[in-house]
Structure 1
Amino acid sequence: MNPVNTKEYKLPSNATWLSEYIPITQFSNSILTPKVTGCSSGIGRALATLIASKPNQCLIATARTPSSLSYLPSTPNILKLALDVTSPSSVNAAFAAATEHFGKGFHLDVVVNNAGYSLSGDTEAATEEEMHLEMETLFFGTVRVTTRAVENMRQADDHRGGLIFNISSLAGFLGLPGHAFYHASKFAVEGFSESVAREMHPDWNINFCIVEPAGVKTEFEGHSKARIAPHPAYAAPDMPARILESYVNKGIKAGAASLMEPSAVAETIFTIANRGERIPLRLPLGAVSWKMAKASLEGRLGDLDKIKGVSAMGKEI
């Protein structure tokens, strides 16, 4: 198996960052329309604010409506762009605008793909529009920006390379009831990211990091969450998805103490990029994510041992 991220990554002192987020999305059938406003809130705002505070770093901040980025200073090293990751032409236009702004030798150093919203509810009730839009935004949006970023990074004459953070989730590591299409999109992001990471030639020095946070404040408060219309067959309180919903709601009412601050997530992303060490392919983020990932792996290893004889089909392992 080809190794990934084989070299230590050193963030240039004048690095250029691209932070990418999703547009406001409309659903004809959902109970709750997601209201993600790109760099204007949550992790997006926290990361954009952090990078903007670094005097020598350049920032390309994106949102569906660039006017929502007015909190960022208007300086030559900050470019505010409109970007709709569901539109190939919008992605191409954003890269063209960045090249025009920063010059022909424009080089991306760090890309943060954070396109996403949670789609929850009973899988049987999901419409074609809901399931396709979830995959189009979370998965194909990430694919579009990642492939354009790789194209830019590998063409650097000095092998400057780069770093691509694809924001997955604990939901990209294990599946929970009532979020089938969100899990599917995040599992797809993880498989895509690992495969592309193994395609990179070591000399290109292009690194990938799949970030797997658990709950982040604002994430479960309607800002980035859409709901499928409920299905009557799954309405009973003892159904697995309803039990999980009750548990999550109790946590939110109790103050959501386990949810991470967006600023803490932003600081960790910057630390990984700036610490001068080998980039981890996967980064469970937060104590909850780390513990649940570990428990899931231990459970899978136990199950694997139990079916060893069947899996081997009579062969010695």
Structure 2
Amino acid sequence: MSANAENTLIQALQDPALYDHPVNEFRVIETHISQVILTGDYAYKIKKPMDFGFLDFSTLERRKHFCEEELRLNRRLAPNLYLEVLPITGTPEKPCLGGSGEAFEYAVRMRQFNQDELFDKRQERGDLPPELLTSLARQVAQFHDSLPSIPDDKPLGTPESVYAAMQENFDQIRPLLDDPALLKQLDNLEEWTRTTFERQRDLIASRRANGLVRECHGDLHLANITVFEDQVTVFDCIEFNEPFRWIDVINDLAFLLMDLESRKEPELANLVLNTYLEYRGDCHCCRCTRPTGRWSEARLPCSPWVTRA
């Protein structure tokens, strides 16, 4: 489906007669990789036909596959939020949700939640109490404990793959810069990353050998956490790129800590880390959280900026 056909579809889907539930009002939230149609009680997420290299939704088969992966992965943490994958039949001009004909597109159907409950919104208005972060940290710790370790034959989470993910940032960003000062800053950061990684190489390898590389969330920051049905709920994990989610569990947590610190919330970051460690007892992770974990997890917020540029 072309981008023009997708826009036609999004417009056509804003018709209350197409839905088997009442529609209060339509609102569309667009990101660089998807469009989400809000209807009141339910939301319908449709992936854009894009190929960014690290993400490939370019064919119908791939979009269907990643819709199914999104459902599978997110039901681990948000089973009440993620409901089903729906085929869209008919035509972009006259679509049918869940029809019996041949599908030309797919959507993930979710329960809709109050956008004001997102943790990033709560933090911005000074309404992110410690008890919510404590609950979140315990939930993440329990989630990490429940995950199986990476199979030995899967070549992810090794020191080489961890460094490759970090190096990819520099390779993508450098061609976009022409300011000598910025290029110098990038060179310094690249050198710091290389030397710090070399100091941590053995630790990264040992943590993988000890089973701490698992199929994690991969995008754990405040904008992907909400309160739904009076429960802290983590959603929108990475479905489109295995190396982004098959990571050391502490890298998963590091993204959240980095987000809190960047928002000048160091006390909350420490609360999350301490609560997590109290539950899991993974004290050795503190050796790698600051030097490599948080920088390597910066690749995801960086990637959309690269594609927009």
Same fold (TM over 0.5): no
- Provide TM-score, normalisation by structure 2: 0.20
- Provide TM-score, normalisation by structure 1: 0.20
